[in-house]
Structure 1
Amino acid sequence: MSPKSSHTHMKRVASFREAWWRARRKAFLDIRYRMISVSISNSERRPLMDNYIGMDAHSSICVFSIVDANGKEVNQAKIATNGQLLVEYIRSIEGSKKLVFEECELSAWLFETLRGEVDELIVCNPTRNQQYKKAKTDKLDAQNLARLLRGGFLTPVYHDGSKTEHLRALMSGYQDIVDTGVSIKNRYKSLFRKAGLPARGAGLYDDSSLLENLSRPDQRFIGRGFYRLLETLEKEREQYIVAIRKSSRAFPEIRLLKAIPGIGDIQAAKIVSQVISAQRFRDKHKFWSYCGLVRHRMESGGHIYGSKRSWGNRILKCVFKMAAQTVVRGENEFRAYYDELRLKGTSDRAAKNAVSRKLAAISLSILKTLRPYDETRIMPQTEQAR
């Protein structure tokens, strides 16, 4: 073959190869275009899946279970209790996302961390879910929560992530100090009772020399330890009071509540920190039930089987009950209301309960309207005592 014909042959081969690659590239682009078109059309026909996510939260690990709209479990996961890892897992889920977990020590932090990552977040009341629980494992708990969320059978616990929840945390710490002090006082007092000595009055906790009346050295040693603990707790309690009063300046409703007889600085802060938003209570009856200040009648088949106390907020119940005990010992409009009920034959206990509900109703009204306390609104008419 001559050099000229060889050169012509190589040019033809190169031209053929170029045409072949050009045709192959065009075919590849056509196939890719069709795949994109099919993917787009399929996504238009099939909407993103609804995800009902149940989470069983613990200090070290969180267990997830995801069910679809048909109740079928589609995913499970165990994620370390780390904010970034939890957010990344939630973001990896495609479609609408509804998340639920039970109220616990982590709930406030989890709420702030995850509420922006889902379409709906519910913190539910664990005491209301007991009737649905049988076998107990983290996996089954998460799965059960997801299915209860899908069915709409959960009772939510109110969270809003506002500064009021920070006040609630402060009040919770204060209550822990008070509860610990009460426990130690009871044990301190029992030392004197065991020795056959009188153990009454607040002066028992103010005079350490009374410990010398204990005959046994071991009891005196234990008593001195309790006394030092009580002194330390009292100093901590005073520091909490200073911090609470400082934080209360950001809440004008606390100042308004303090005008109610029987409601002081701490009680007003407790009310605001527990209620958070008064608008979530439709009327005073709902608020009374939330505070555990009413009884619910048990009725079936036209027969009344008695009544039972509703589950309620123990902190608010204590605030209004203690405030009622205070006001009926003084000279004020609430005492006049109490006396009127007693004259009509109402028992002492029922009359004090009615005063508690009156205090709660007025507190709710002030929180809703932010109007100052008006003593003339207490006795327009006598409500039925229970």
Structure 2
Amino acid sequence: MFERTSVGLDVHARSIAACALDSTTGEIIRQTLAPDDVTAWLERLPGPIAVTYEAGPTGFWLARTLAGAGIECQVAAPSRLLRAPGDRVKTDKRDAMSLARMLRLGEIVPVRVPTADQEAMRDLCRAHAAAVKDLTHARQRINAMLLRQGAVYPEASHWTRAHSAWLGRQHFDHPAAQAVFESLLEAESLAVQRRKRLDKLVASAAADCEYTPVINALTCLRGIDTAAGFGLAAEIGDWTRFTGATIGSYLGLVPSEDSSGQTRRQGAITKAGNSHARWLLAEAAWIHRRPYRRPGVRLLKQWELVDPATRIRAQEGNQRLHRRWEAFDARNKASTKANTAVARELAGWCWSLAVPLQQGAAMKAA
């Protein structure tokens, strides 16, 4: 649909700078608005109108509000916005004007706007990841302090009941050191409790949500447990937007490139797109380096939840990804680079499992 008025919004927590371009009269309308006044101001503009704003910390509530009011709104991907190299003046009004002009020219690359339920699931998976990282850091601090004091646990396995009992027997002569050690143990205990609570919430949400079939399929791959499968499903959402070749690009797992003429240079991965999904895939890729001859107990239980075609496809993926690791190790490839390559291919296998399920669900809904 042709829009008479193109509107760019520079959104902040307490104020929004708006710029509207009327293509019929050429008029430029600028306004500084409170967040609650945006919809009413837009409805007074000559229509039809289209609106865009840059994705950022304010989230997607404004896009959902405008969509509910029947106003077309695109949330622009920040990394794909056009900016002149010589433009060194940045203000809210200029940003709003730039967004309005790009929208008029059709140069906005939109991001997918999740529903409120989908955003809540995304927040849950990120909270779980944060809890896991906090627990890791808490344990690292305990290990670091013990190492500085010359206390080394004699066994190879850590954070077991025996290790916890050994930690409880440690004592330091200086009161300050003992107080710090007890504080670190308390922080680790609280982090464990928090992670366990979020584990239960993730398991409950994954078992009964719109992404449950996709999660069950993704967890048929090695390295992807319920939390990782839930995170990938919530972060990516609609897998049918991509192909097996473009999913790696979306996740920033493809090499950057600087080529001109007959010269072709490739560098590190772009790290574009969803950083949390990329991290989940990179962590899962390390598991495929381990020997794989037959599925373990977890995979066998998981395979009971999916159809035979998904089970066969997942088994092919597990075997293929392990062979890739073996080939990289045989070539003495740097492990970090090899893991990135395996993560990129793992993204393609995840896509091949998720897309048939979502396409089938869409056909049934139609």
Q: Do both share a fold (TM > 0.5)? A: yes
Q: Which residue of 2 aligns with 1:9?
A: none
1:70 deviation in Å?
Answer: 7.8
Q: Which residue of 2 aligns with 1:156?
A: 110
SS in 1 for 2:246: helix
Residue 227 (structure 2) aligned to one of 237, 253, 266: 266
Letter in 1 for 2:345: K
Letter in 1 for 2:57: E
Structure-2 change in CA distance of 1:75 and 1:340 (3 Å) = same
Letter in 1 for 2:159: G
**Residues 96 and 118 in structure 1, CA contact (< 8 A), matched pair in contact too:** no
Asked whether 1:366 is paired with 2:362, we answer: no
Residue 159 (structure 2) aligned to one of 177, 184, 203: 203
SS in 1 for 2:93: helix
Structure-2 change in CA distance of 1:169 and 1:325 (3 Å) = same
Q: Which residue of 2 aligns with 1:77?
A: 31
Identity %: 21
**Residues 3 and 50 in structure 2, CA contact (< 8 A), matched pair in contact too:** no
Asked whether 1:356 is paired with 2:343, we answer: yes
Q: Distance in 2 between matches of 1:369 and 1:100?
A: 32
Asked whether 1:219 is paired with 2:173, we answer: no
Residue 250 (structure 2) aligned to one of 273, 290, 297: 290
Q: Distance in 1 between matches of 2:250 and 2:175?
A: 50
Letter in 2 for 1:295: P
Residue 323 (structure 2) aligned to one of 315, 337, 340: 337
Asked whether 1:123 is paired with 2:109, we answer: no
Asked whether 1:91 is paired with 2:78, we answer: no
Structure-2 change in CA distance of 1:164 and 1:280 (3 Å) = same
SS in 2 for 1:135: coil
Asked whether 1:240 is paired with 2:230, we answer: no
**Residues 192 and 198 in structure 1, CA contact (< 8 A), matched pair in contact too:** yes
Between 328-337 and 108-117, report the one with greater CA deviation. Answer: 328-337
Asked whether 1:170 is paired with 2:120, we answer: no
Higher helix share: 1
1:329 deviation in Å?
Answer: 0.9
Structure-2 change in CA distance of 1:176 and 1:351 (3 Å) = closer
Letter in 2 for 1:258: T
**Residues 52 and 68 in structure 1, CA contact (< 8 A), matched pair in contact too:** yes
1:77 deviation in Å?
Answer: 2.0
**Residues 174 and 237 in structure 1, CA contact (< 8 A), matched pair in contact too:** yes
Structure-2 change in CA distance of 1:193 and 1:67 (3 Å) = farther
Letter in 2 for 1:267: A
Instruction: Mark the runs of 5 or more structure 1 residues left unpaired by the alignment.
Output: 1-47, 372-386
Q: TM-score, normalised by structure 2?
A: 0.76
Q: TM-score, normalised by structure 1?
A: 0.73
**Residues 60 and 114 in structure 2, CA contact (< 8 A), matched pair in contact too:** no
1:343 deviation in Å?
Answer: 8.0
Higher relative contact order (CA 8 A, sep 6+): 2
Alignment of 1:306-345 (within 5 A): 306-312=266-272, 313-332=274-293, 333-334=319-320, 336-338=322-324, 341-342=327-328, 345=331
Structure-2 change in CA distance of 1:49 and 1:124 (3 Å) = closer
Report the structure number with the largest CA radius of gyration.
Answer: 1
Q: Distance in 1 between matches of 2:29 and 2:167?
A: 66
Q: Distance in 2 between matches of 1:209 and 1:353?
A: 37
**Residues 256 and 270 in structure 2, CA contact (< 8 A), matched pair in contact too:** yes
- Give RMSD over aligned pairs: 3.1
Letter in 1 for 2:79: T
Structure-2 change in CA distance of 1:203 and 1:183 (3 Å) = closer
**Residues 6 and 100 in structure 2, CA contact (< 8 A), matched pair in contact too:** yes
Instruction: Mark the runs of 5 or more structure 2 residues left unpaired by the alignment.
Output: 294-318, 359-366
Q: How many residues align?
A: 321
Q: Which residue of 1 aligns with 2:52?
A: 100
**Can you list the C-alpha shifts for 1:296-328, whole angstroms capped at 9, x where unaligned?**
332102212333421332222222222221122
Structure-2 change in CA distance of 1:246 and 1:307 (3 Å) = same
